[in-house]
A = this chain, B = another copy of it.
Amino acid sequence: MYNEKMYKLGSNRSVIRDLFEYGKKLAAEKGEENVYDFSLGNPNVPAPEEVRQSLEKLISFPDSTVIHGYTSAQGDFTVRKTISDYINERYSAGMTPDLIYMTAGAAASLSITLSALKEDNDEFIVFAPFFPEYGVFIGNTGAKTVVIGPGENMSLNLTEFESKITENTKGIIINSPNNPSGVVYTETQIKALCAVLESKSKKYGHPIFVICDEPYREIVYDGITVPYLMNYYKDTIVCYSYSKSLSLPGERIGYIAVNPECTDAENVYYAVCGAGRSLGYVCAPSLFQRVVADCIRCKGDIDAYKRNRDLLCNALEDYGYDFVKPEGAFYLFVKALEPDAKAFSDRAKKLGLLLVPSDSFGVKGYVRISYCVSYDMIKRSLPLFKTLAESYAE
């Protein structure tokens, strides 16, 4: 009568969304001040003032049919040119507007890219811990998801990676800074990864694509540099989103950039255009295409996230929690104090702490803490993290 798989995807909410809904219910019962919701990656930092200024300017434009009208399916040319120039300025990537495709955010970027590439029997590799929706997007194309377990300190496990590449491997998804661990993969690791990819591409006689999911690129701390994959590996496709960097997650705006050095780059780009069309994406939201071009050099208040990270990390270290200090994104991935992450999350829940158990991220025994919340809430939550730790010491 209807599609059973879609029904399941729609009726079984993701663990993250489930916890978030639980939090809203709990807040209604116990009062908002007694719920510490660390579940969602919804930025609490406001959009930069330049976003409002750009919107104000655009909506006062006399001809609304230009501002709100269809753009070309790939996106407005001037917007693509602005983005392409900026990519070249930062990474000398030789990008052109004709290899940029504007999208409705990172999820759209990934879905479209995967559909554009997918052929019969294809497999895509993801590195744990990973954003759970990767499995959904890959599943939608009919391809197989191959999971690589985490390396030391949540780095890339390159030994397992090398052993799991087959002739059917079409591509891999790299997400750095990583959701949920906050880890930024080092240049040394990236170079080693690319060496494996090059040798395997050669062995199997076809490119293995790197799909870079980069919504957290701008959110890094301590002056760290995130390697830009196009500079290391030719068959790279970047899936970018402004959701986190400009605090616009609901507006659904991002892009796909195909590396000019990519094998058959132009045809891959056409496949991207076709996949966007096929999935019902007519064009990316037109007003926000122009907003992100206006705000190409802007970022939200990254320092606010850094203050949150430091407060949380210092306290949790004191209480004896085990974690890798995040260098980017706004997530802390903490070892649960018992083997079962769900049981640990449930015990935390009783104290009002909403922490996402790690199983759906492809790793057992951890919880994700989203610290894109108010400094004050983190501060007030610390005694509860202490109580939680002590409850296991007893």
On A, residues with C-beta under 8 Å from B are 1-11, 17, 40, 42-47, 51-52, 55-56, 59-60, 63-65, 67-71, 73, 104-105, 107-112, 115-119, 133, 136-137, 139-140, 206-207, 247-252, 263-264, 267-288
Report how far A267 CA is from B10 CA in the complex, Å: 9
User: Which of A117, A118, A252, A263 has the most chain B CB atoms closer than 10 A to its own CB?
Assistant: A252
B140, B250, B285: which contacts A251 (Cβ < 8 A)?
Answer: B285
Within 8 Å CB of A287, what residues of B?
250-251, 287-288
Q: Are A117 and B3 in contact (CB under 8 A)?
A: yes
Within 8 Å CB of A9, what residues of B?
273-275, 277-278
Q: Are A249 and B70 in contact (CB under 8 A)?
A: yes
B46, B139, B275: which contacts A278 (Cβ < 8 A)?
Answer: B139
Q: Are A10 and B107 in contact (CB under 8 A)?
A: no
Q: Are A250 and B116 in contact (CB under 8 A)?
A: no
Q: Are B64 and A51 in contact (CB under 8 A)?
A: yes
B4, B250, B280: which contacts A68 (Cβ < 8 A)?
Answer: B250
Within 8 Å CB of A270, what residues of B?
6-7, 10-11
This protein's copies in its complex: 2
Report how far A64 CA is from B50 CA in the complex, Å: 12
Report how far A8 CA is from B56 CA in the complex, Å: 40
Within 8 Å CB of A6, what residues of B?
115-116, 270-272, 274-275, 278
Known: A73-B17, A251-B285, A280-B110. A63 touches B46 (CB 8 A): yes
Q: Are B47 and A64 in contact (CB under 8 A)?
A: yes
Report how far A112 CA is from B6 CA in the complex, Å: 10
User: Which of A47, A269, A277 has the most chain B CB atoms closer than 10 A to its own CB?
Assistant: A277
Report how far A68 CA is from B61 CA in the complex, Å: 21
Q: Are A285 and B52 in contact (CB under 8 A)?
A: no
Report how far A104 CA is from B105 CA in the complex, Å: 12
Known: A55-B55, A68-B251. A281 touches B107 (CB 8 A): yes
Within 8 Å CB of A250, what residues of B?
67-71, 283, 285-287
Known: A70-B249, A251-B286, A280-B137. A11 touches B65 (CB 8 A): no
Within 8 Å CB of A70, what residues of B?
40, 42, 249-250
A252 to chain B, nearest CB (A): 5
A235 to chain B, nearest CB (A): 10
Known: A1-B207, A105-B282. A247 touches B64 (CB 8 A): yes
Report how far A71 CA is from B104 CA in the complex, Å: 15
Which partner residue on chain B sits nearest A9 by CB separation?
A: B274
Within 8 Å CB of A286, what residues of B?
250-251
B3, B68, B105: which contacts A275 (Cβ < 8 A)?
Answer: B3
User: Which of A108, A269, A270 has the most chain B CB atoms closer than 10 A to its own CB?
Assistant: A270
Report how far A243 CA is from B283 CA in the complex, Å: 12
23 sampled A-B residue pairs with Cβ under 8 A:
A1-B206, A1-B264, A3-B274, A6-B115, A6-B275, A7-B267, A7-B270, A7-B274, A9-B274, A10-B273, A42-B69, A46-B64, A59-B59, A67-B250, A68-B247, A68-B249, A69-B247, A104-B280, A107-B281, A108-B280, A112-B280, A140-B278, A249-B282
B46, B65, B119, B275: which contacts A247 (Cβ < 8 A)?
Answer: B65
Known: A6-B274, A140-B278. A55 touches B65 (CB 8 A): no
Within 8 Å CB of A277, what residues of B?
9-10, 133, 136
Which partner residue on chain B sits nearest A43 by CB separation?
A: B65
Known: A46-B64, A111-B279, A111-B280. A252 touches B7 (CB 8 A): no
A145 to chain B, nearest CB (A): 14
